[in-house]
Structure 1
Amino acid sequence: MKTLGKKIRLLRHQRGWSQEDVAKRLDISIPAFSKIETGITDINLSRLEQISILFDMTVVQLLTFNDAEQEQKYSNELDSVSKRLSDRDTEVIDLQKKVIELYEELRLNKVTA
């Protein structure tokens, strides 16, 4: 249920509403709504329907809201991080080659000196 609370919080933020705004619209206390968002309180079906209507969604839309987006976002982030890691690996290998070259140059200079 914590992910549902996060979805509700995200929807609330997208609309620029405070917890107080939503609590008033649902006719519940601010602490009660806060517990819904944090996942402390499980949401019954009638409350779920009330929340979905408030956000102009069906219950199914509310329950699945942002799931595909999140998966795509995480996939994109993973691709980006993998690319950066690959770039760093290449940099490390290049630096290792330079260190070896410099070591060999120093070693040869010592031998000839």
Structure 2
Amino acid sequence: MSLGAKLKQLRLNKNWSQSDAAYQLDISQPAYNKWETDQSKSSIDKLGKIAEVFEIDIYGLLENTITINFK
């Protein structure tokens, strides 16, 4: 599951709109939308805030979302 899909599920579990989640994370709604749709990634410093706001362990947030490409 992608980080965006996890964010969407966590947001829906709280019955929040994207605007609600963005407000809690102190970012714009369009920026949050890009995270949730995997069009962009959050900065590393925001991962702790995401985990705090959604009450999830940061490792649970990142589990199965990190991919390494060996070329």
Q: Same fold (TM over 0.5)?
A: yes
The 5 Å alignment of 1:1-113 reads 3-64=2-63
Q: Tell me, what secondary structure is at the counterpart of 1:51?
A: helix
Q: Aligned-pair distance for 1:7?
A: 0.5
Bigger relative contact order, structure 1 or 2 (CA pairs below 8 A, ≥6 apart): 2
Structure 1 runs (4+) greater than 3 angstroms displaced: none
- Rounded to whole Å, the distance in 1 between the matches of 2:26 and 2:41 is 17
Normalising by structure 1, report the TM-score.
0.53
Q: Tell me, what secondary structure is at the counterpart of 2:2?
A: helix
5+ long unaligned stretches in structure 1:
68-113
Q: Cα RMSD between the aligned structures?
A: 1.5
Q: Aligned-pair distance for 1:57?
A: 1.4
Normalising by structure 2, report the TM-score.
0.81
Query: Comparing both structures, which one devotes a greater share of its residues to helix?
Result: 1
5+ long unaligned stretches in structure 2:
65-71
Q: Aligned-pair distance for 1:56?
A: 1.0
**Could you list the per-position Cα deviations for residues 49-103 of structure 1 after superposition, in whole angstroms to 9, with x for gaps in the alignment?**
1101101112101122xx6xxxxxxxxxxxxxxxxxxxxxxxxxxxxxxxxxxxx
Alignment size in residue pairs: 64
Identity %, equivalent residues: 38
Give the greater-gyration-radius structure (CA). Answer: 1
Matched AA of 2:19: E
